């Protein structure tokens, strides 16, 4: 969104508009369930969902599931970035490494991480590890590709200038290459974190004993559709919050150039 559109919306109460939408959606939901268009067992009412939510919070299950899911996403994602960034830098610098490995990286990026679920359970059993593994598989390859593409597109003149001003060795990496690819990498991290959050829910449904994904699956097995909906709402809200958090990275002054020109 450019600055001008933002400006035009703000005075008109842009902050209120999403709340209006929310109120309208709630009203429609309430009306549909009050009119009994669908049976309560398949279409829980807002009230039932709110009660279910309070029940989950009260028992402490929600907090427990939330922590479990966030831990898995953080661990898998951090591991993917820690290994994917160096791997991407190397691919970006070496034409030979690109020729050898890029097709494989593209293959695994195109392979849905959920296809690994059988092996995840076989290798890692049930619990944190299979979920962390699946999140890693979902995040690693996009991070590698973003870093590699970023490095390959750094203008040669930056390295000429760096040489002129005496940058050598590790300094070239930390003071030229990394800042030059930072905007692209941050964009990729944002997309990838969203992907990781999608994957954790699926992973926990099948290979978990706790976590938000498991909570939904468990509620479904108990025919508690009110709890399913409350879980869905929490998952969606956390996903938005994670994205908001990563958007902050794009506001760092030294990366603004990547988004403004």
Partner 1 sequence: MSVVRLENVSLAFGAVEVFRDFSLDIAPREFVAVVGPSGCGKTTLLGLCSGFLKPTGGRVEVAGRVRTVYQEGGLFPWLTVAQNIALGLRHVRQESEREARLQEMLSLIRLEAFAGHYPHQLSGGMRQRVELARALAGDTDVLLLDEPFSSVDYLTRLRLRGELARMLAELPRTVVLVTHDIEEAAQLADRVVVLSERPAVIRRQLRVESPRPRDLTHPEVVAAVRATLAEMGLEREEVMSARG
Can residue 182 be called a binding residue for partner 1 (CB under 8 A)? yes
Q: Which of 127, 179, 194, 239 binds partner 1 (CB under 8 A)?
A: 179
Q: Residue 158 interacts with partner 1 (CB under 8 A)?
A: yes
- 3-state SS, residue 14: coil
State the nearest-atom distance from the C-beta of 87 to partner 1, in Å: 23
CA distance 20 to 32: 18
Q: Is 189 in the site for partner 1 (CB under 8 A)?
A: no
132/134 Cα distance (integer angstroms): 6
CA separation (Å) from 199 to 22, 76, 135, 234?
26, 11, 6, 15
| Structural tokens at position 221 | 């097995």
Cα separation values, 200 from 40, 128, 196, 197, 244, Å: 29, 10, 6, 5, 19
Distance CA 216, CA 65 (A): 10
Indicate whether 153 belongs to the interface with partner 1 (CB under 8 A): no
Among 164, 221, 244, 248, binds partner 1 (CB under 8 A): 164
- Contact set for partner 1, span 120-149 (CB under 8 A): none
Stretch that binds partner 1, among 32-40, 115-123, 134-142, 177-185 (CB under 8 A): 177-185
Binding mask 237-256 for partner 1 (x = CB under 8 A): ----------------xxxx
Cβ-count burial 95-116 (b if 16+ within 10 Å, e if not): eeebeebeeebeeebeeebbeb
Span of 97-105, 133-141, 157-165, 218-226 interacting with partner 1 by CB under 8 A: 157-165
Token output for 234: 């929490």
Confirm or reject binding of residue 170 to partner 1 (CB under 8 A).
no
Number of residues that bind partner 1 (CB under 8 A): 21
Residue 182 or 225: the one with the smaller Cβ distance to partner 1 is 182
Assess contact for 76 and 139: CB atoms under 8 A: yes
Tell me which stretch binds partner 1 (CB under 8 A): 77-85, 102-110, 150-158, 226-234.
150-158
38 vs 257, which CB is nearer to partner 1?
257
Residues of the shown chain interacting with partner 1 in the complex, contacts defined by CB under 8 A: 155, 157-158, 160-161, 163-166, 176, 179-180, 182, 253-258, 260-261
């Amino acid at each position: 969104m450019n600055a001008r559109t933002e400006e035009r919306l703000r005075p008109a109460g842009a902050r209120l508009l999403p709340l209006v939408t929310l109120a309208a959606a709630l009203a429609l939901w309430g009306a549909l369930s009050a009119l009994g268009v669908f049976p309560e067992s398949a279409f829980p009412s807002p009230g039932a969902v709110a009660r279910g939510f309070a029940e989950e919070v009260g028992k402490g299950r929600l907090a427990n599931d939330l922590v479990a899911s966030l831990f898995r996403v953080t661990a898998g994602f951090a591991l993917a970035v820690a290994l994917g960034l160096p791997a991407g830098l190397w691919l970006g610098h070496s034409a030979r490494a690109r020729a050898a490995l890029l097709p494989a990286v593209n293959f695994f990026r195109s392979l849905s991480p959920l296809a690994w679920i059988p092996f995840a359970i076989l290798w890692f059993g049930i619990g944190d590890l299979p979920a962390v593994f699946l999140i890693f598989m979902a995040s690693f390859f996009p991070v590698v590709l973003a870093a590699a593409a970023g490095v390959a597109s750094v203008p040669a003149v930056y390295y000429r200038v760096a040489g002129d001003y005496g940058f050598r060795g590790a300094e070239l990496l930390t003071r030229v290459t990394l800042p030059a690819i930072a905007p692209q990498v941050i964009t990729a991290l944002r997309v990838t974190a969203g992907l990781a959050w999608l994957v954790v829910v699926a992973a926990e449904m099948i290979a978990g004993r706790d976590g938000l994904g498991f909570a939904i699956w468990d509620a479904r097995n108990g025919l508690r559709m009110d709890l399913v909906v409350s879980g869905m709402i929490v998952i969606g809200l956390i996903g938005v919050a994670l994205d908001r958090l990563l958007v902050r990275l794009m506001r760092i002054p030294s990366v603004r150039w990547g988004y403004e020109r």
